[in-house]
Every structure is written in structure tokens, then in C-alpha cells.
């Protein structure tokens, strides 16, 4: 794969992606939601959730694995709880609807739970919890994903890398955003190693017998190592219960691939919480005091600092995207040249 890149503005990138989805028959509102989220991930530096996904997403629309025309529906199950059915369409329009509904609920009642079912790949969770914090609320989000982590003591993956994300509003400037998967390293890094034919370091993954491996193929057939041994796998179970059992979605072990166009819809789940801090100046001041303490420590930095720098750079200077991804996007969009 060529490493050559081309610079493109965020606005142009969003418009290009949108046209690529519209050309595949995705209605304008959904095409915009998906395009915006993929470009936002690319701008954050989460390139595994950006342009690299476009051709797989379009192929899944074409095969019917993703219902490109789906319109998500929201059902309020209480004053502080909403369930959104993604209708086997893209996750992004469903998350937009869930967050819009849940944020309004939490502003009113102090707290809201958002369950999303019959969903798809949710990309970078950071982008979703950021929206909750932009509305002045604390955000929490978990999601499941195709099975990659085994319960502690076993070699059989039952859990996805099941990410946890968190956000808190800040008085001035962008929110604090934390976004982490429960595997020691992202599974995408193993996939990249496979693509480039490189071995992986020990400590990333186990083969299907439960032995340490440096072979990316053996790792993908085996399982990813969780953070914190039994603790990380217990957190992965917590995420599985919230993102799948509670939402009514498929478990990680039941889910089809987010990459291949074959098979039934993945039917995955996402779960979000919005929590309203007190109205007074107390919370904002305390957040600044705590983050100021971290920033003042030698060697430490506030989580998400790199993400915010990448976003600011992308807004000012656009993003550098591998040329072959832009080529694919332009072809899908039906652009000349």
C-alpha cells in the first residue's frame, strides 16, 4: 500500500464522503451523519475509524448487510430512558437520535440512559461522548464489537474489545474526553501487521490454544489480551451486559464482521449515559483544579491532549489522507478524473 497522502479540507472531505454514500443509495440525512463521523475520526487521528472504512461501508450497503435507507426510531421508556432501534442501518444516525433525545432528558431530570439496538460499527466513541459534553453534561458510553477477548482463564473469545468512553465539559475550550478499549492494544494494530506482513510484539495477543504469539494470523484466530488480567475481562463483561443484554443487541460472540460485506447484519449495541452536573460554578472550577494539577506534574499530561491538538490542526490545515482512499472515495462519488 502506497504511503502517499493528499491534503484535503474537512469540509471537502465531508462533502466527498457524503456524495459517496448518496451514490450508493443512502439518503442525504444518513449519508451526512456517517460522513461527518468518519471525517471527525480521521481529524482526531483515529484513522482506523475514518476514510479506511468507506469502501467496506459502501460494500455492506450494496450487499444489504447494512440497510442504507434505515431511519432509526426512538422509544422513550421513561422520563430518563430512551431505546433507539437502528433498524440494521448505520450506527451514526441512531447515535445522533439517541444523544439528541438523551441530552434533552438529562437536562430536565438530571440523568438519562440511551440504549441502541440492531446497530452497526460505532467508530470512535470519543466523537459521541464529546457531543454530550458539548451540551454541558458528563457523558459515558460503552459498545460491544465482534468477539476478541476471552473470559479470564479461558482461550475462547466471548467479548469484543468493548470500549469505554467518558467526557466532561470544561469552562473554556474543548471537553475532556477519555476513550479506551479493554484490550492492551487495538485489534486494528494486529490487522495492520497482517496486511504489512510484520510480526506483532509479545503481550498483545494469544493464539487459539491460549499461548503467547507474535504471528498476526494466529492472533486473529486467537484472542486479544485484556488490560489488568481478570479485572479487564470483568470490565469487558460489564460492557457486554450494558451494550448488549440491556439494549437487546447481539452479543459480541454472535455478531458478524464489521468489515466483510457477507453475512447477516451485526446487530450490535451501544449504551450511553448523560449526567447533569450542578448548575453552580462548583463543578467547572473543580474540573479545572484537577486537570490543572495533572498538567502541572512533570511527565504527565491530561488525557486527550493529542486528540485535541490533532483536531485543531485538522480544522486549520485540513487532513492528510492516503491517496488511494481519496481515489476510492472519488470513484464511489462518481467524480470525474
* Residues engaged in binding a second copy (CB under 8 A): 77-81, 83, 106, 108-113, 138, 150-156, 158, 164, 166, 168, 176, 178, 180, 184, 227-232, 234-235, 237-238, 240-242, 244-246, 248, 251, 253, 273, 275-278, 282-283, 286-287, 289-290, 293-294, 297-301, 303
What the block records as the C-alpha cell of 277 is 452536573
Shortest Cβ distance from residue 201 to a second copy (Å)?
14
Of residues 12 and 245, the one with the C-beta less far from a second copy: 245
Of residues 16 and 287, the one with the C-beta less far from a second copy: 287
Shortest Cβ distance from residue 295 to a second copy (Å)?
9
Shortest Cβ distance from residue 273 to a second copy (Å)?
7
Of residues 89 and 169, the one with the C-beta less far from a second copy: 169
Cα(182)–Cα(229) distance, integer angstroms: 10
Cα(145)–Cα(143) distance, integer angstroms: 7
Cα(85)–Cα(114) distance, integer angstroms: 11
Cα(151)–Cα(162) distance, integer angstroms: 13
Shortest Cβ distance from residue 288 to a second copy (Å)?
9
Q: Residue 21, SS3? A: helix
* Three-point CA angle 198, 305, 57, nearest 5°: 55
Cα(304)–Cα(179) distance, integer angstroms: 8
Pairing verdict, β 111-119 and 81-85? parallel
Shortest Cβ distance from residue 236 to a second copy (Å)?
10
Of residues 218 and 235, the one with the C-beta less far from a second copy: 235
What the block records as the C-alpha cell of 243 is 451494550
Of residues 27 and 277, the one with the C-beta less far from a second copy: 277
Amino acid at each position: 500500500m502506497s504511503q502517499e497522502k493528499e491534503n484535503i479540507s474537512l469540509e471537502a472531505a465531508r462533502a466527498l464522503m457524503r456524495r459517496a454514500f448518496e451514490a450508493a443509495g443512502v439518503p442525504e440525512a444518513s449519508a451526512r451523519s456517517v460522513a461527518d463521523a468518519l471525517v471527525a475520526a480521521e481529524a482526531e487521528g483515529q484513522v482506523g475509524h475514518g476514510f479506511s472504512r468507506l469502501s467496506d461501508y459502501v460494500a455492506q450497503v450494496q450487499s444489504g448487510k447494512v440497510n442504507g435507507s434505515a431511519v432509526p426510531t426512538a422509544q422513550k421508556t421513561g422520563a430518563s430512558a430512551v431505546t433507539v432501534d437502528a433498524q440494521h442501518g448505520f450506527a451514526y444516525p441512531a447515535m445522533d437520535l439517541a444523544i439528541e433525545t438523551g441530552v434533552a432528558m438529562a437536562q430536565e431530570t438530571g440523568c438519562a440512559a440511551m440504549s441502541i439496538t440492531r446497530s452497526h460499527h460505532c467508530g470512535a466513541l470519543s466523537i459521541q461522548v464529546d457531543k454530550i459534553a458539548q451540551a454541558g453534561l458528563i457523558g459515558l458510553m460503552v459498545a460491544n464489537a465482534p468477539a476478541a477477548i476471552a473470559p479470564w482463564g479461558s482461550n475462547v473469545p466471548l467479548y469484543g474489545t468493548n470500549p469505554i468512553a467518558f467526557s466532561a465539559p470544561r469552562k473554556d475550550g474543548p471537553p475532556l474526553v477519555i476513550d479506551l478499549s479493554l484490550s492492551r492494544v487495538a485489534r486494528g494494530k494486529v490487522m495492520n501487521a497482517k496486511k504489512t506482513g510484520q510480526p506483532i510484539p509479545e503481550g498483545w495477543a494469544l493464539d487459539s490454544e491460549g499461548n503467547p504469539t507474535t504471528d498476526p494470523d494466529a492472533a486473529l484466530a486467537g484472542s486479544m489480551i485484556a488490560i489488568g488480567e481478570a479485572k479487564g475481562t470483568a470490565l469487558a463483561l460489564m460492557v457486554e451486559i450494558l451494550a448488549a443484554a440491556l439494549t437487546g443487541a447481539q452479543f459480541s460472540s454472535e455478531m458478524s464482521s464489521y468489515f466483510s460485506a457477507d453475512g447477516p447484519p451485526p446487530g450490535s449495541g451501544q449504551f450511553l449515559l448523560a449526567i447533569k452536573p450542578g448548575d453552580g460554578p462548583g463543578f467547572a472550577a473543580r474540573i479545572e483544579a484537577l486537570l490543572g494539577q495533572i498538567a502541572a506534574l512533570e511527565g504527565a499530561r491530561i488525557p486527550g491532549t493529542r486528540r485535541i491538538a490533532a483536531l485543531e490542526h485538522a480544522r486549520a490545515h485540513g487532513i492528510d489522507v492516503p491517496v488511494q482512499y481519496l481515489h476510492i472515495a472519488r470513484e464511489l462519488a462518481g467524480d470525474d478524473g
